[in-house]
Structure 1
Amino acid sequence: MKVLKKRLSANKDGKALASNFGYLMIMQITGYIFPLLTIPYLARVIGVEGFGKIAFAAAVIVWFQTITDWGFSYTATRDVARNRDSLEKVSEIFSNVLWAKSLLALASFIILFIITELIPYLKENQILLFITFMLVPAKILFADWFFQAIERMKFITIFDLISKAIFTLFIFVFVKEKTDFILQPLFLSLGSILVGLASFYLIVFKFKIKILPPNYLEIINTIKNSKDVFINNFLPNIYNSLSIVLLGMWGGSVASGIYDAGRKFVSITHSFMVVLVRVFFPYLSRNIGKHNFFEKIHLTISAGASVILFLIAPFIIKAFFTPEFYEAILVLQISSISVFLISLSGVYGTNYLIVMGYEKKLRNITVVCSLIGFIISIPLVYNYSYLGATVVLVSIQALLGFSIMFLAKKVKKENLSKERNYV
């Protein structure tokens, strides 16, 4: 560790990586602490049915969140990282992304309103869905991708900490009975909007980013240039979130609650792995030759995390949930390998193929795998409820992760061969 620390401190890039990793570590640690405080309380107060309703709404809205993001979290981060010495160019990129996201958010809300009016089950949960949708504009305001691109993770950490603290406090103060489950997404959304406004103010006044008037052609080009990354991000959400939506419609809120409880700690663990992906992304955008170093660190940690999560699954579920959630133990054990499988996509897809400009090839793999996931999710969820949803998710994550890995290694080999021939 001392040797690694010395190497990181030896140059400007290394210091930036070390600093950003440290701040994001703080963010992830607090990201563990706050949910660990609220999960047992919510499980006891709102029960498995309330958990299921919240999970259902989140699964629907994540589609619209992905549409609004449109892959900008990666393409805009990459572009700003490569042009961060030009305030004029960064302002142009930021403004185009801001207006593009706003347009996509408006279209998303219109679609949400229409489908909630037409589909009876969604109509029953319309208020919950609208409240949860507030996370979409909050995410637009909280441009964490910008702070990531300029490698100033300190600000993301501070804002995230404030948001989680406010959200957690309100949960304990106001959620007192089962019918209060709707307050969970409300407080989460309001806290996120507040932090989004603060971060937006900081971007404009501290970093002097100019918000340029919307230019229709520039907005359309911005959307077109990120369409491949969008497809790569959106399609996996179809079979992932579709499983929860189908569970809510066919199995009821209880089945959704069990599935969500089992997946909860996988998501928390995966959020830790995202730290490495996010910290290294702007760095690798400028220094792709360091990818092998990143690859070894990330995959080693993720493999160990999957094993540990599998072994302690019974203890985790029994420690944080009431007996009505105990069936989630098997869900967590099956899902534990997801930490490693998702890391394959992050290491070889996000932090290599996208950095190298192979978005279209990555998109093609994602399209095929996602269509398979979409097809098999319907019979498996219908016949095997939350276990079927779990098997679908893990199976497609494996197919997607290893397919991306093989493509990335092939590209690496071809590029290495070209360099040797050039020399």
Structure 2
Amino acid sequence: MRLNKSKIKSLFQNQDIRGLVGNFFYLSILKIISFVFPLITLPYLTRVIGVEKFGAIAFATAVIVIVETVVDWGFNYTATRDAARAREDIDVVSQIFSEVIFSKLTLMAICFFLLFSLLPLFSLSKETELLLLLTFAYIPGHILFPEWLFQAFEQMKYITILNVLSKLIFTVLVFVVIREQSDYMFQPLLVACGYIVSGIIAMFVLVKRYGIYVRFPKFGPIFRRLKNSTNMFISLIVPNLYNNFSVILLRTYCGDGATGIYSGGEKFHGIVDQLTQVLSRAFFPFLARHEEKHSLYVKITGTIAILMSLLMFLGANLFVDIFLTPNFSDSATVIRILALSPIFLFLSNSYGTNYLVLVGKENLIRDIYVVWSLVGFALAWILVPRFSYVGVAFVLLAIRGAIGVSIYLMAKRLMKAKTHS
């Protein structure tokens, strides 16, 4: 018994293990919060604003998510990796931080100009254009909240606290501000408010707690950072060809009602997907320094993914009955179709971002995403106009499955070659 206590004490004196255990504690809290807060507001929002306005918000969100992906430019992985490996040198980390922030601000300005210059080319109502503008307000708040740097420091504590704060602000304001259907326009602004407040606090913590400072970088370092993150950016942007583009296509051909039905079902998978991403990125800096722990990570996340898939398939009708209105009854079909999605995302995260990226093989991920996203883009044009929200769900599941399996096979091939070398 003494030996066991001694081993346990020695284990928890290890800084890496202590940090990982601490991260899991805060990750557990974040997972609970990520489940609870959306499920508090979802029944209220769907009842007050209805299926069609819910679909309008989903359309605007799909467009702005594409902008968000461009603004991020893959930094959430490449900059996290670089900062995690240099985190003992504040000058180097501050340089990385400055380059990323100024790169994102530049990309945001370009996206804003392009988006609202091109809007007149499309037959959108003034109401939809205004909704897009209000939804864009989320982007500055997203930039202000440098979650990627806290991940590099393995400080899930701050990520959890600030995420709770942003979601709490949004949740409270939803019940205060949105009282009737016409108030749906305020929903994206409320999301932005939560992120902006959390982002300002995050910046303060980085400066005061970690001594991070911002300096205006020269064009050369910014260009190099953009160039070095391009492979990761392509891997992250091309899924929009079948994912968010399918939602835009759905709204174009089938209207806000069908978009609302799809979004109602996809919301539950969005919550699960968010948890999967949080778990993946919590491990990312740890695996960047301890590649040999990858198999343990796979066992943990694989088990969680299987349980989530079963929960989604078996609980589809129950989720709709509890959290949505009768007008969303068809959303249960979307939930069931996407039930295998957590397993496919597990393969993509575990063997893609948390293995291939860490061994410097972003180009392989890029190629896989490009090929299958183009296939998904073609499928969307065929299936969405004909099968409406069911077509969107099938496209999403099929392409996520193809990407996940392809990444898994590629990673296993590299692991095998590395073992025999």
Is the structural similarity TM-score above 0.5?
A: yes
Residue correspondence of structure 1 range 118-197 to structure 2 within 5 A: 118-121=121-124, 124-197=127-200
Counterpart residue number, 1:117: 120
Cα distance change, pair 259–6 in 1 and its aligned pair in 2 (3 A): farther
Residue 331 (structure 1) aligned with residue 327 (structure 2): no
Match of 2:248 among 241, 245, 249: 245
Aligned positions, number = 417
CA distance in structure 2 between the aligned counterparts of 1:192 and 1:137, rounded to whole angstroms: 8
Match of 2:391 among 384, 388, 393: 388
Residue 262 (structure 1) aligned with residue 265 (structure 2): yes
**Identity among equivalent pairs (%):** 42
Residue 35 (structure 1) aligned with residue 38 (structure 2): yes
CA contact (8 A) 1:277 1:347 kept: yes
Q: Secondary structure at the match of 2:243?
A: helix
CA distance in structure 1 between the aligned counterparts of 2:306 and 2:161, rounded to whole angstroms: 30
After superposition, what is the alpha-carbon deviation per residue over 1:105-144, rounded to whole angstroms, capped at 9, x for unaligned?
1111111111212212265411111111111111111000
4+ residue segments displaced more than 3 Å? 2-8
After superposition, what is the alpha-carbon deviation per residue over 1:16-41, rounded to whole angstroms, capped at 9, x for unaligned?
11101111221221121111111111
Counterpart residue number, 1:200: 203
Code of the residue aligned with 1:240 in structure 2: it is N
CA distance in structure 2 between the aligned counterparts of 1:5 and 1:55, rounded to whole angstroms: 49
CA distance in structure 1 between the aligned counterparts of 2:67 and 2:8, rounded to whole angstroms: 41
Residue 371 (structure 1) aligned with residue 384 (structure 2): no
Code of the residue aligned with 1:231 in structure 2: it is I
CA contact (8 A) 2:138 2:189 kept: no
Unaligned 5+ runs, structure 1: 419-423
CA distance in structure 2 between the aligned counterparts of 1:391 and 1:5, rounded to whole angstroms: 48
Q: CA deviation at 1:274?
A: 2.1
CA distance in structure 2 between the aligned counterparts of 1:273 and 1:417, rounded to whole angstroms: 32
After superposition, what is the alpha-carbon deviation per residue over 1:321-365, rounded to whole angstroms, capped at 9, x for unaligned?
111100011110011111111111000001000011000111111
Code of the residue aligned with 2:85 in structure 1: it is R
Q: Secondary structure at the match of 1:120?
A: coil
Counterpart residue number, 2:305: 302
CA contact (8 A) 1:7 1:14 kept: no
RMSD: 1.6
Code of the residue aligned with 1:276 in structure 2: it is L
Residue 53 (structure 1) aligned with residue 56 (structure 2): yes
Residue 74 (structure 1) aligned with residue 77 (structure 2): yes
Q: CA deviation at 1:280?
A: 0.8
Counterpart residue number, 2:95: 92
CA contact (8 A) 1:43 1:322 kept: yes
CA distance in structure 2 between the aligned counterparts of 1:132 and 1:25, rounded to whole angstroms: 29
CA distance in structure 1 between the aligned counterparts of 2:414 and 2:240, rounded to whole angstroms: 26
CA distance in structure 2 between the aligned counterparts of 1:112 and 1:8, rounded to whole angstroms: 52
CA contact (8 A) 1:55 1:257 kept: yes
After superposition, what is the alpha-carbon deviation per residue over 1:187-228, rounded to whole angstroms, capped at 9, x for unaligned?
111121111111112212321112111311111111000000
CA distance in structure 1 between the aligned counterparts of 2:239 and 2:84, rounded to whole angstroms: 26
CA distance in structure 1 between the aligned counterparts of 2:361 and 2:126, rounded to whole angstroms: 41
Q: CA deviation at 1:76?
A: 0.5
Code of the residue aligned with 2:351 in structure 1: it is Y
CA distance in structure 2 between the aligned counterparts of 1:272 and 1:365, rounded to whole angstroms: 24
CA contact (8 A) 2:169 2:193 kept: no
Q: CA deviation at 1:7?
A: 8.8
TM-score scaled by structure 1?
0.96
CA distance in structure 2 between the aligned counterparts of 1:7 and 1:108, rounded to whole angstroms: 51
Residue 227 (structure 1) aligned with residue 230 (structure 2): yes
CA distance in structure 2 between the aligned counterparts of 1:341 and 1:112, rounded to whole angstroms: 32
Which sits farther off after the overlay, 197-206 or 54-63? 197-206
Counterpart residue number, 2:359: 356
CA contact (8 A) 1:48 1:324 kept: yes
Q: CA deviation at 1:6?
A: 7.5
CA contact (8 A) 1:25 1:275 kept: no
Code of the residue aligned with 1:202 in structure 2: it is V
Q: CA deviation at 1:173?
A: 1.1
Unaligned 5+ runs, structure 2: none
CA distance in structure 2 between the aligned counterparts of 1:122 and 1:402, rounded to whole angstroms: 41
Counterpart residue number, 1:212: 215
Counterpart residue number, 1:17: 20
CA distance in structure 2 between the aligned counterparts of 1:114 and 1:101, rounded to whole angstroms: 20
